[in-house]
Amino acid sequence: MSDHDITLLGHGGHIEIDCETMVEGMFEMFDDLCDFALSRVYARTGELDGGFNFDAIEQSEIDRFKLAWHISLGELMFHGMKNQPRLKEIKNCFYAELERSAGKRKAKPFFDATRASVPGLIRADKDFVENGLFNRPTSNREDGDPRNQGLGPQLAGIIADAAFIDNDNVTQVSDKIRAVVEIEFNNAYGHASIACAAFDIV
């Protein structure tokens, strides 16, 4: 703990942290949340004809999923950090690291397109920007899964489609995969929002 000069405060307090450490922490948290979501996606392949199939999902699909997940969650956190005086530096540091990852994954064109589109989608959602409404339940499906609207489900759908829409191996469980991604992305947004709000970047 002393290596990072983190100050422990009482309940409800803020922690001062440098930009690089903040971004490193964001990546670690986003990775953990993303890996959990992917583990639940893999679990859905158990409902395929023939049962669980670890090879049903290609590495390139995992790469796109992770990049879209990080960009979407990152931009949501940046929206919440709009009053941080070093926001530009945080974003530059975050995207420099993510761009390196995209290069290693040989997914730079996908990264560029997703990075260009997601901020506009967030700004265009008035319910989120003006009222902070991320997810809105509207009805129930026959199987009991909630049907939701709002920015959260929209971004989750983009993440799922970016990764799996062309994957014929999982077509028969594609709706269930989308539902899982939606639930896990909503959960990730909640966890990340609470965590990031505790820090002041100096």
Report how far residue 81's alpha carbon sits from residue 200's, in angstroms, rounded to the nearest whole number: 9
In percent, the amount of the chain with pLDDT more than 70 equals 88
pLDDT tens digits for range 39-81: 999 888 887 777 777 778 899 999 999 999 999 999 999 999 9
Residue 139 CA from chain centroid, whole number: 24
Mapped onto helix, strand or coil, the DSSP state of residue 57 is coil
What pTM was estimated for this model as a whole? Answer: 0.86
Residue 201 has pLDDT above 90, yes or no: no
Report how far residue 58's alpha carbon sits from residue 56's, in angstroms, rounded to the nearest whole number: 7
The structural domains of the chain, with segments of one domain joined by +, span 60-201
Report how far residue 6's alpha carbon sits from residue 1's, in angstroms, rounded to the nearest whole number: 6
Instruction: Spell out the residues 6+ positions from residue 183 whose beta carbon is closer than 8 angstroms to its own.
Output: none
Report how far residue 194's alpha carbon sits from residue 124's, in angstroms, rounded to the nearest whole number: 23
Q: What is the pLDDT of residue 3?
A: 56
pLDDT tens digits for range 167-197: 888 888 888 899 999 999 999 999 999 988 8
Residue 142 has pLDDT above 70, yes or no: no
